[in-house]
Structure 1
């Protein structure tokens, strides 16, 4: 059986350049013709499609960020001028936090298949997919990628830990798809019941994304529980996996369905391999989504090497932090602007601060909220704030601190990410 999903993974440097430049020209031309938002952006920059002939030419265009996408969809609903095609051709509409509406024509969405194939998922594997199928595209996209590798999918979704554990045992599940912290939570819960995870369960491979996989957690999963663990870097708005690990686990190979740049976030200028910058993405695989130069806010650096696995695409070293204020918590981005909009409906709400910590291999999120009313012990108000926050951001708060006005120093950051990654 082939080690590689397709021939694209072993293209030469020159072949990959020709391939990406050609597809980029098509994507830019298509977006200019069919996506009003892309056309306006290019005209404002004084750039014509013919000016973008290679990946390096993308520096001529500004970076579009998530807040830009959210605002565009508010001003020009429902797709913000980024959709290319006729509305009646849309087969699925995904809703990402923001919200951001993402239309899709094709019923075949195998975009994640290369990453699952590299992680060893094949026909005969029974894989539990613990990512949400509710609103977010994650569950469905991952399922389709697994099915393209002919693996059997247990459609579990998020939550329901007890049911997940029972299904894993009853169905002989040997593959896990989810966040690394949730996999650890499942293991610990099994052990709390007195069961032996290695003996009583068959999980021997895991595909994880949505949060950083620390070296210590990987060692625990692989050495203590013999779970072959692969991490993938995925971003919702461009629509898929941007980079994925192979058996060498020495970086994440870039996917050839995207143009990925590492840029200086303040200037948009492309950086050389080895330099740390923001990951900026132009999707090539969805002809109906005219998004160009989407800034993820994630920091990484690119490396070029001769990988023993035979895949020739450059690699990302992993995520090194965030360039902006948005923060990823348990696989979901929380954007301060979303929080601000949610709290606008709560009359008593004043200044706020988000604090992210890492406790027992799990992200925790605290909202520190000053109150105009001064009453910090109001049960009904707590419920309203928690409900408004979760409705807007999807992620559930772990803690809500109601504070008197003036408690949060004026110079404080809106987001405090206190997580430590070893």
Structure 2
């Protein structure tokens, strides 16, 4: 029988959904009241009405590039480093602040397991009383602290190995005999190869939780052959844990502290279950209450429940980036513009803009799924392309359901040789 971190993981899905939707209007109200940024973003929203996913889907999506822009503006105009998104300023309520490239500054609050990482560690096999070798960075970015606070909440001791100094990492592992490793998979591979070169055995290292990089099956098999059972988690510096892998190795199970949507890239419109789109997350974190935060990552919902008995929604994992903005003939074309064109025509379903040709000779073709293949429709869509993008493009009619389910709204097929 599977073990679980807590009873939340095995709740009836209807019970979980009811709990999330009960908490949602309270979180929206809190964000409007305590966050200057969301007071403006949600100024026309009545929090009491946000009681369903359908209503949530009508709220604006705040994407990472917008978060950066708002932070930069707020810093220059008002001296607010968090762009008005944090509900606390510096002091006892914010023991740490971190920086991601941009720079985007992220607050760390005082809540136990603030980033909610303990759940993922438990699923990866870590248990109270064990020593964890943490090789995520402890400076600038929050990764090291994310994992350490989760490990402490789980009841584990942490060796803060950080990055680099491979020989010292091997020596520390040989001396301390940690139960497992947390960090990027590439760095653990380097450490194990270095240990082999040094003739140092690391028999205690039998499990790992990875993040920050892709973890393909080939690499998983490599670790298995070296006696390490490695599992991946999906987290961001803005949101903390979003989803995590289990022993079933069938997708990633959504964390209990977030409300997740998959939307069409460049829009806020939810896609059908199984369709690839951008991961948008609403967090219940009161310190940093991000409402409909666009991660910029592509994924898709998997049907059914995890074979381990966990009942929350599963996603396929990271499938690429959602920001497909492309420069064509000197003009930027955005996924949202493709969506705008398609929505002008009731007969058009999905659309995909394919950019082809060689450098300086760009050609673009909008492929549209429709059962109507009249020349009149094609000409009207071509007019819409010119109107929205200020560029000329061709239109290709394809059968409904024939475009690939890969989340791509703009496909850059140009030759750069």
TM-score, normalised to structure 2's length? 0.73
Alpha-carbon distance between aligned partners in 2 of 1:149 and 1:91, rounded to the nearest angstrom: 20
Q: Does 1:210 align with 2:212?
A: yes
TM-score, normalised to structure 1's length? 0.73
Alpha-carbon distance between aligned partners in 2 of 1:184 and 1:26, rounded to the nearest angstrom: 45
1:85: Cα distance to partner? 4.0
Kept after mapping to 2: 8 A contact 1:91/1:107: no
Alpha-carbon distance between aligned partners in 1 of 2:221 and 2:157, rounded to the nearest angstrom: 27
1:99: Cα distance to partner? 1.5
Alpha-carbon distance between aligned partners in 2 of 1:288 and 1:278, rounded to the nearest angstrom: 24
Match of 1:134 among 127, 131, 139: 139
Alpha-carbon distance between aligned partners in 2 of 1:58 and 1:33, rounded to the nearest angstrom: 18
Task: Give the equivalent residue in structure 1 for 2:51.
Answer: 53
Alpha-carbon distance between aligned partners in 2 of 1:411 and 1:182, rounded to the nearest angstrom: 42
The alpha-carbon distance between structure 1 residues 190 and 104, as it changes in their structure 2 partners (threshold 3 A), is closer
Task: Give the equivalent residue in structure 2 for 1:236.
Answer: 237
Task: Give the equivalent residue in structure 2 for 1:359.
Answer: none
Alpha-carbon distance between aligned partners in 1 of 2:307 and 2:360, rounded to the nearest angstrom: 52
5+ unaligned residues in a row in structure 1: which ranges? Answer: 327-335, 337-407, 418-422
Task: Give the equivalent residue in structure 2 for 1:106.
Answer: 110
1:174: Cα distance to partner? 2.5
Q: Does 1:265 align with 2:265?
A: yes
Q: Does 1:95 align with 2:99?
A: yes
Task: Give the equivalent residue in structure 2 for 1:19.
Answer: 19
Kept after mapping to 1: 8 A contact 2:277/2:298: yes
1:325: Cα distance to partner? 5.8
The alpha-carbon distance between structure 1 residues 409 and 134, as it changes in their structure 2 partners (threshold 3 A), is farther
Task: Give the equivalent residue in structure 2 for 1:292.
Answer: 291
Alpha-carbon distance between aligned partners in 1 of 2:307 and 2:73, rounded to the nearest angstrom: 49
Match of 1:79 among 78, 82, 87: 82
1:409: Cα distance to partner? 5.3
Where 1:148 maps in the other structure, the secondary structure is helix
Where 1:234 maps in the other structure, the secondary structure is strand
Can you list the C-alpha shifts for 1:16-57, whole angstroms capped at 9, x where unaligned? 1111111211111101112121121123xx432233112332
Kept after mapping to 2: 8 A contact 1:20/1:256: no
Kept after mapping to 1: 8 A contact 2:98/2:140: yes
Aligned residue pairs total: 327
1:107: Cα distance to partner? 4.8
Kept after mapping to 2: 8 A contact 1:123/1:150: yes
RMSD over aligned CA atoms reads 2.5
1:411: Cα distance to partner? 8.0
Task: Give the equivalent residue in structure 1 for 2:124.
Answer: 119
The alpha-carbon distance between structure 1 residues 114 and 80, as it changes in their structure 2 partners (threshold 3 A), is same
Alpha-carbon distance between aligned partners in 2 of 1:31 and 1:79, rounded to the nearest angstrom: 14
The alpha-carbon distance between structure 1 residues 41 and 159, as it changes in their structure 2 partners (threshold 3 A), is same
5+ unaligned residues in a row in structure 2: which ranges? Answer: 75-79, 327-357, 363-411, 413-417
1:202: Cα distance to partner? 2.2
The alpha-carbon distance between structure 1 residues 131 and 325, as it changes in their structure 2 partners (threshold 3 A), is farther
Larger radius of gyration: 2
1:105: Cα distance to partner? 3.3
- Spell out the pairing of 1:337-416 with structure 2 (5 A cutoff): none
Alpha-carbon distance between aligned partners in 2 of 1:2 and 1:323, rounded to the nearest angstrom: 35
The alpha-carbon distance between structure 1 residues 172 and 59, as it changes in their structure 2 partners (threshold 3 A), is same
Task: Give the equivalent residue in structure 2 for 1:179.
Answer: 184
Alpha-carbon distance between aligned partners in 2 of 1:248 and 1:115, rounded to the nearest angstrom: 14
Q: Does 1:30 align with 2:30?
A: yes
Kept after mapping to 2: 8 A contact 1:84/1:288: yes
Alpha-carbon distance between aligned partners in 1 of 2:266 and 2:72, rounded to the nearest angstrom: 26
Kept after mapping to 2: 8 A contact 1:25/1:54: no
The alpha-carbon distance between structure 1 residues 80 and 411, as it changes in their structure 2 partners (threshold 3 A), is farther
